[in-house]
Amino acid sequence: MTIDELVLLLKASQATGLTTLQELILRSSWEGKTYTNIACEAHYGEERVKKIAAHLWQVLSNFSKEPINKSNFRLTLESYPFSQAHQQLVKEFNQAATAISLEFPSGPVSLNSRFYIPRPPIEELAYAEIAKPGSVICIKAPKKMGKSSLIVRLLARAKKQGFHTVTLDFQQADKAVFTSLDKFLRWFCTNVSQELQLEPKLNDYWDKDMDSKVSCSIYFQQYLLSALSSPLVLVLNQVDWVFKDLEIAGELLPLVRSWHEQAKSVEIWQKLRLVMVYSTEILVPLRLTQSPFNIGLRINLPPFTKEQVQDLAQRHGLDWRDGKDAEILMAMVGGNPYLVRLALYHLVGKGGLKRDLGQLLQQAPTEAGIYHDYFRQYVLALQDEPELRDAFLEVISTTNYVKLEPALADKLQSLGLINLEGDRSTVACELYRLYFRQYLKKSESLNIINAGI
């Protein structure tokens, strides 16, 4: 029996389920961690951890009909069979829980959701990095790959450690903000101040005769960071929007890099922990010593593996342990977390599909399919940019790979429509090929007809 199977079994068999602390004690003890380490990680007193652990060992002793304690916990239960009866109990538990808690996949997966699938070791690496003074984390992935869900958990961990947290979404900034570097940096500092519930005092620190970047740094160092008793985790979300203005991006990114460098010698800058979130590669020409993207921890969120798809299916109450249905679904949508989860949402009874995977996949690349509304955002994006549309049509018209102009390839990758390895572009999944090959060719025919008229 694995620790995952044991945790599921206890959740299914215990009337009160498992608390977060109980599960942490089980998993940490399985890894051989001491009560002292567990208490430190959980931010609980060691005596409380020992008391809860003692209750767990008693529950497991009754369950296995053998005396269980911390020292023999894993050795005893790892060889314990996960029987057919256990599997049926977990299956019924998942089905009952899913019927109650089924949630439409939209936006970040909430902290208390049963449908968040970890992608080890990404989460633990991010948690460890954010604890380091002056750290920088760069999270890059196409749309709908789970960036926001990871950020939710990263911020929750930071708050649990007593850190201040601020998230700035550059997509929410008005166009006027990007008309000059000075205006942008003042907007930047004002928003961070307000998020920290500090009165903006830019005029006290901003010197018109001094470089805006210097004024911004002084404001952070002498006002914002000095006012905080604990570290600040600053999430810069949708950094791609800054990339669109080469002048501002060319100034902001080296500034961010300089703050990280200052943390090595100026103690107060160690309070700042930066997280940069983006979908596309930066095309601003920067020297290696100016870019913030080649320092700290770089995270590229990968698609789900077959095992992770099976795990998510199980959480939806589906028995996909043999892997066949997971392979069939992935042959169409790959490991895209959103596409997989939307399919599972409909398969457990929503939309009248009643677990008919074949019917779902047959309809998937059509106007009658479950992804029709999702496709609209891409249809609009491709209509607005004919060059992008033509480049994508070239990709989906071949079963091999094509070499696109770098800016177009990067834009398509940021949208999640293609996979990009070096200069080789391939369609992200078969679903996109089937739907857009039909749509784009139909659109192309209409254009020819309209041109003839």
Length of the chain: 453
CA angle 341, 108, 316 (to 5 degrees): 30
In the chain, which residues have pLDDT < 50? Answer: 100, 288, 351-353, 446, 448-453
Question: Which residues sit opposite 420 in a β-bridge?
Answer: 425
SS3 state at 167: strand
pLDDT at 321: 87
SS3 state at 276: strand
pLDDT at 112: 86
pLDDT at 225: 98
- Residues 6+ away with beta carbon under 8 Å from 149: 108, 109, 116
pLDDT at 100: 47
The first and second tokens of residue 223, run together, are 């006002």
Residues 84 and 91: beta-carbon distance below 8 Å: no
pLDDT at 15: 65
Residues 260 and 296: beta-carbon distance below 8 Å: yes
pTM of the model: 0.76
pLDDT at 448: 42
pLDDT at 79: 85
pLDDT at 319: 85
pLDDT at 77: 87
List, for residues 386-434, the tens digit of each pLDDT value: 999 999 999 999 989 999 999 899 999 999 999 999 999 999 999 999 9
SS3 state at 361: helix
